[in-house]
């Protein structure tokens, strides 16, 4: 059939009065020439089932009730700024040229399930600023390949689900899926998606910098990349900076491979109303930058993470500074989270404190203290720019107070000081004359042969008073340190040491305990 004849038929020029309803239906027909309906307003729909079009079908700026192209072989479809009132059905089509839906308004479902599009050097499916009032289905065997990208949905609005479950898309010279600023009213489903892209190593923020680009997109439902396989040459795998998902984001068992100076997976500044679940995700690549960037991500619920980052290079593999969540994270125990933050994340105090906050809110105070102590240990051991005085201060706080989170250490130090001082006092009393009954006021000191030794209980009381100066046992009047020789002067001077340690431990214990009370 000649394409011009079909055009006249659709416009009501050939024999049919009134036009057939629901439209012109053709099956197994080969169209010769170009079907050009640009700017036309068709009274009926076009149904091409298992047909072949030798030239691209052109319906840009046209309006028609419905368009069905199922199982047809096309040379291309140009439908820019067209309006299709009751849906576009392109299931199982085979298209040897690009499909262009730039600015198109579709009043129902847009269905490319099982379609195969090979655009050569161009973009396979160009649908920037598309508006679909129903689902957009690019699933179940959908394949698209283009030298300038596979699927473009920049600024598109989809009232239903955007579904690429099981699709295979390849951007030989750009992104496989470019959906910047897209607005999806339902779920964005990229489960089992196989996406490949090739770039030139451009910096983050450029449209072609990632295999899948969701930068600035809004998803009213869930965003799922479960079991997805994303691989890029000279580009990152996933760029979703500033994405907004009102429920959960699933990266479960996702495989992401990239080769980009800024990393592999970017979620910087994302806002997620539910949870971020990354269990079993495998991230490979990254050279000098964090493989996974979760900085400034806000979660309405919690984080579940047990990723496999074995293929990444370098020590610092994940950036978590500014990541916030409200509930205890899943996937790892407290000890495993501490090890993860220490060994696999770029150091920042905020991730530790965020983890400690949710543990505290859940009533797990001991885990919270362990996390906060680990943060100080990481700060001290990381070789960061700390002055010698600051490093010394941290070392002392770590040993004596557990950085202020284990005040029992100061109390234990005070107890050890008391015990040691009592023992030394008793030993000194037995071996020297330095511990004796002091002379009464107005009397001369006792001669060496007239030394009056203290009773044992008084010796113990003296040791306690020396170690705890604020505690008085009233034993000093009956037993004290007296220096009658050079040797005994050294013993008296040594008595100042436990006094200093006692004051220090007591002060640190009170200060640490007060700080702990204020914190809780």
pLDDT in tens, 102-157: 999 999 999 999 999 999 999 999 999 999 999 999 998 999 999 999 999 999 99
Name the residue among 269, 199, 261 with its Cα closest to residue 230: 199
pLDDT tens digits, 258-305: 887 778 899 999 999 999 998 888 888 766 677 889 999 999 999 998
Evaluate if residue 96 carries a pLDDT over 90. Answer: yes
Question: Count of CB atoms within 10 A of residue 106's CB?
Answer: 27
Q: Measuring CA to CA, how many Å separate 360 from each of 327, 342, 403?
A: 10, 20, 17
Alpha-carbon 265 to chain mean position: 9
Residue-level pLDDT at 115? 97
Joined together, the tokens standing for residue 12 give 């009501």
Contact 270, 245 (CB under 8 A): yes
Residue-level pLDDT at 1? 86
Contact 143, 116 (CB under 8 A): yes
Residue-level pLDDT at 111? 97
pLDDT tens digits, 3-59: 888 888 888 766 555 566 778 899 999 999 999 999 999 988 999 999 999 999 999
Residue-level pLDDT at 45? 92
Question: Count of CB atoms within 10 A of residue 386's CB?
Answer: 14
pLDDT tens digits, 36-46: 999 999 988 99
Please tell me whether the peptide bond between 316 and the residue prior to it is cis, using omega within 30 degrees of 0.
Answer: no
Give φ, ψ of 489 to 5 degrees. -65, -40
Average pLDDT over residues 440-452: 54
Residue-level pLDDT at 477? 65
Evaluate if residue 411 carries a pLDDT over 70. Answer: no
Question: Count of CB atoms within 10 A of residue 213's CB?
Answer: 31
Residues near 137 by beta carbon (within 8 Å), at least 6 away in sequence: 109, 110, 111, 112, 113, 161, 163
Helix (H) or strand (E) holding 430: helix 408-431
Residue-level pLDDT at 202? 54
């Amino acid at each position: 059939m000649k394409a011009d004849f079909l055009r006249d038929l659709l416009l009501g020029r050939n024999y049919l009065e009134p036009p057939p309803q629901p439209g012109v239906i053709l099956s197994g027909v080969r169209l010769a020439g170009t079907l050009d309906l640009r700017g036309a307003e068709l009274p009926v729909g076009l149904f091409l089932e298992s047909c072949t079009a030798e030239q691209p079908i052109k319906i840009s700026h046209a309006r028609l009730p419905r368009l069905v192209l199922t199982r047809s072989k096309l040379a291309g479809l140009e439908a820019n700024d067209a309006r299709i009132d009751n849906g576009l059905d392109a299931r199982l089509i085979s298209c040897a040229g690009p499909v262009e839906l730039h600015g198109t308004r579709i009043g129902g479902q847009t269905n490319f399930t099982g379609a195969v599009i090979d655009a050569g050097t161009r973009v396979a499916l160009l649908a920037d600023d598309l508006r679909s009032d129903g689902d957009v289905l690019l699933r179940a065997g959908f394949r698209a390949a283009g030298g300038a990208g596979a699927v473009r949905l920049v600024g598109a609005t989809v009232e239903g689900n955007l579904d690429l479950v099981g699709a295979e898309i390849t951007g030989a010279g750009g992104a496989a899926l470019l959906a910047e600023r897209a607005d999806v009213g339902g779920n964005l489903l990229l489960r089992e998606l196989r996406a490949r892209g090739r770039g030139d190593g451009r910096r983050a923020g450029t449209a072609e910098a990632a295999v899948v680009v969701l930068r600035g997109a809004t998803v009213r439902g869930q965003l799922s990349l479960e079991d997805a396989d994303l691989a890029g040459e000279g580009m990152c795998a996933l760029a979703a900076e500033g994405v907004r998902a009102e429920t959960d984001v699933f990266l479960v068992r996702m495989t992401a491979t990239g080769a980009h100076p800024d990393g592999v997976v970017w979620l910087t500044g994302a806002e997620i109303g539910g949870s971020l679940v990354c269990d079993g995700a495998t991230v490979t690549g990254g050279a000098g930058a964090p493989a996974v960037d979760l900085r400034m991500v806000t979660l309405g619920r919690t984080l579940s993470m047990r990723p496999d980052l074995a293929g990444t290079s370098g020590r610092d593999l994940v950036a978590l500074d500014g990541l916030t969540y409200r509930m205890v994270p899943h996937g790892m125990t407290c000890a495993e989270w501490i090890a993860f933050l220490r060994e696999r994340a770029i150091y920042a105090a905020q991730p530790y404190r965020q983890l400690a906050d949710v543990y505290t809110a859940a009533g797990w105070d001991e885990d919270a203290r362990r996390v906060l102590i680990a943060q100080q240990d990481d700060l001290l051991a990381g070789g960061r720019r700390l002055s010698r005085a600051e490093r010394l201060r941290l070392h002392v706080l770590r040993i004596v107070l557990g950085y202020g989170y284990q005040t029992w250490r100061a109390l234990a130090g005070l107890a050890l000081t008391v015990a040691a001082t009592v023992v030394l006092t008793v030993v000194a009393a037995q071996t020297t004359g330095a511990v004796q009954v002091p002379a009464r006021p107005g009397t001369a000191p006792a001669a060496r042969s007239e030394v009056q030794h203290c009773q044992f209980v008084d010796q113990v009381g003296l040791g306690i008073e020396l170690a705890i100066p604020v505690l008085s046992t009233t034993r000093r009047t009956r037993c004290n340190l007296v220096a009658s020789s050079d040797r005994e002067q050294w013993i008296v001077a040594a008595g100042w040491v436990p006094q200093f340690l006692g004051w220090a431990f007591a002060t640190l214990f009170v200060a640490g305990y007060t700080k702990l009370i204020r914190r809780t």
